[in-house]
Chains A and B, each alone.
Chain A
Amino acid sequence: MLLITVRLPPDATLAQAMRRLKLPEEDVDTDYGLVLIDPDQGLYGLRVSEAAARRVAPKAGGGPYSDPRIEPYGPPG
């Protein structure tokens, strides 16, 4: 799964984003949902399969972006 971003009107929903990007449900992490990244820019993020990310990112306007693993910084070993 990768991250993509899309610009949508205020209070947009995941369903709206999926319709706009023509994304089937199996390509989207629906548990993750649609996340508002920057309200001033109307920028939202969602997690999609790698294949879908490469397909729709150009028309979505952002991505695909990496979704790297994160780990605690300690105790140092």
Chain B
Amino acid sequence: MRVLLQLRPSPDVVAAVADPSVSTSAADVTDALPGVVVDPSFTPVVAPRPVPLAGGDPLSLNQPLMFSFADDEASVLVRGEISDDEISTRVTLLPSLRPDVVGVFADPVIQRSLTCGGTPPVGDWRDVERLLHVAELAREGLDGAGVALAVLDSGINAAHVARRLGRDVALDAQRSWKPSGARGEAGEFPVDHGTMCAFDALIASPRASLIDVPVLLSRRPGGSALDGLLSDAVAAFAHLRTVLEAQPTASRSLVVTNSWGSFSPGWDFPPGHPGNYSDNPAHPFNLIVSSLEQAGADVLFAAGNCGRDCPDGRCAYTSRPITGANSHPRVLSVGGVDIRGERVGYSSQGPGRLAARKPDLCAFTHFSGSRAFGDDEADSGTSAACPVAAGLVAAIRTVWPSSRLSPSQLRTLLRRTADDHGDSGFDHDYGYGVVDTLGILASLRRRARRSVSACS
């Protein structure tokens, strides 16, 4: 067990440790302590003595105190290790054997607290751009040009996205679609969640054509201001199928990003009921997801914000919160990491309900980006991670349409090249790891070389 040892050496040693111009080590403070392996790499630290005010209780810390760094009152801390099976004996005996040892304290492992909802942004979108190696993607011609990127969300405000990115944005109004009853025009919706998703998708694929599909603006009975019904998503996917089939077979590319889901089993038939959605691959929406993917679309879903460490307050599933199409075997389920590569505490963990190995992988979230929710607010949630990954997929599709690399092959490539985090190999926190652009590029180059040699 790692311990901190509080020692009271002679006043001149205390003075030396306290003097920043003097270099000291543990060996200067103490010689060998029985049963303790002193850590020579830890520079000793002076600890002040708490002193009660005049007339105070000399044994209480719960009173006004002064802290003395006087050489004859302060102590020195060094770090060491005591064998686990001797810890209680050593802690009891050390002070009696060695009068200079005045205390032995635990030195627990401390970790950075996880990024959670409401915590400030970690880095900004330029960091994400750097981590995604967007410059390298562009050098290989992978910038999303000509690739249709559908954002199924609350609608896009293209002017806001262009302003924040500092460049023009391609919005394909003709192929955009909205549920009946939703008010507003493609690319002109109020700045909200969908605008954030569009911004984040364009980080890696700056020249992709956005298709605006505001499924979360349903005005159907049962819907509210910023939600929709799954039937709207069924209709949206049917529309996207027509978009895909209108493209020439040889150059088909459609990337569909979905940063939404169903939070409550109360809105669904129970698992086992033939009409259930969350656990039922035969539900019409799960069927149409399969159908669109089979036709050549890359479908990405956010894993959700129901991670055990700090779940969204709306999460009502008591277990396995990656449900329905968010856990579909033919989609990429995307969890979230911050720009340090650490899983954000709200990112939902697997196993998924339709496919157990979920999430598939993680992408970056919780950074300052679109400012869709205010200047100080992060682009957060797996809501941001999903379009970040979708943008990377759209970039790949610039040169690799689904006729050259099927959606299934692309998912495999992304999983195989992901930067492994957490447990070795797949785990239910990070999936196969964090998206790794350089690994993807290397793999695509190998694939291109194989294609050339096969042709020749």
- Given contacts A1-B221, A73-B259, A77-B314, A66 and B287 within 8 Å (CB-CB): no
B215 interfacial contact with A, CB 8 Å: yes
Candidates B228, B235, B276, B382; contact of A73 at CB < 8 Å:
B382
**Complexed CA–CA distance, A74 and B193 (Å):** 7
Q: Please, which residues of chain B bring their CB within 8 A of the CB of A37? A: 234, 238, 284, 287-288, 291
Task: Number of A interface residues at 8 Å Cβ cutoff, please give it.
Answer: 33
Chain A residue numbers with a CB within 8 Å of B269 are: 65-66
- The answer to whether A38 and B288 touch across the interface, beta carbons within 8 angstroms, is yes
Which single member of A36, A63, A75 contacts B241 (CB below 8 Å)? Answer: A36
Could you say which residues of chain A place their CB within 8 Å of the CB of B386? 73
Q: Does B381 contact A (CB under 8 A)?
A: yes
Name the prevailing secondary structure of the B interface residues: loop
Docked complex Cα distance between A74 and B67 (Å): 47
A18 on the interface (CB 8 Å rule)? Answer: no
- Bound-state CA distance A76–B312 (Å) is 5
Known contacts A32-B231, A74-B381; is A1 also within 8 Å of B222 by CB?
A: yes
A39 CB within 8 Å of chain B: yes
Partner of A45, one of B234, B378, B383: B234
- B215 to chain A: which residues have CB within 8 Å? 70
Query: Is A67 part of the binding interface, using a Cβ–Cβ cutoff of 8 Å?
Result: yes
Q: In whole angstroms, what is the CA distance A66 to B377 when docked?
A: 35
Q: How far is the CB of A66 from chain B (nearest CB, A)?
A: 5
Min Cβ gap A33→B in Å is 8
Return chain A residues, CB-CB under 8 Å to B284: 3, 5, 37, 43, 45, 62-63, 65
Residues in B whose Cβ lies below 8 Å from that of A29:
220, 231
Known contacts A5-B284, A38-B288; A70/B381 CB under 8 A: no
The A/B interface has a contact count, at CB < 8 Å, of 155
Contact between A31 and B241 (Cβ–Cβ < 8 Å)?
A: no
B80 close to chain A: CB less than 8 A: no
Q: Which residues of B contact A11 (CB under 8 A)?
A: none
Cα A36 to Cα B239 in complex, Å, equals 9
Give, as a whole number of angstroms, the nearest-CB distance from B219 to chain A. Answer: 10
Smallest CB gap from A57: residue in B: B275
Complex CA–CA separation, A63 to B116 (angstroms): 39
A72 touches B377 (CB 8 A): no
A35 at the interface (CB under 8 A from B): yes
Taking the nearest CB of chain A, how far is it from the CB of B114, in angstroms? 12
Could you tell me the distance between the alpha carbons of A37 and B346 in the complex, rounded to whole angstroms? Answer: 33
Our pick among B153, B238, B282 for the contact of A36 (Cβ within 8 Å) is B238
C-alpha gap A37/B381 in the complex (Å): 30
A-B contact pairs, 11 of them (CB 8 A): A32-B180, A40-B291, A43-B284, A45-B234, A45-B284, A68-B264, A71-B216, A72-B226, A72-B260, A74-B383, A77-B312
4 tightest Cβ-Cβ pairs between the two chains A and B = A74-B381, A74-B383, A76-B117, A68-B267
Contacts from A to B (Cβ < 8 Å): 1-3, 5, 29, 31-33, 35-40, 43, 45, 47, 62-77
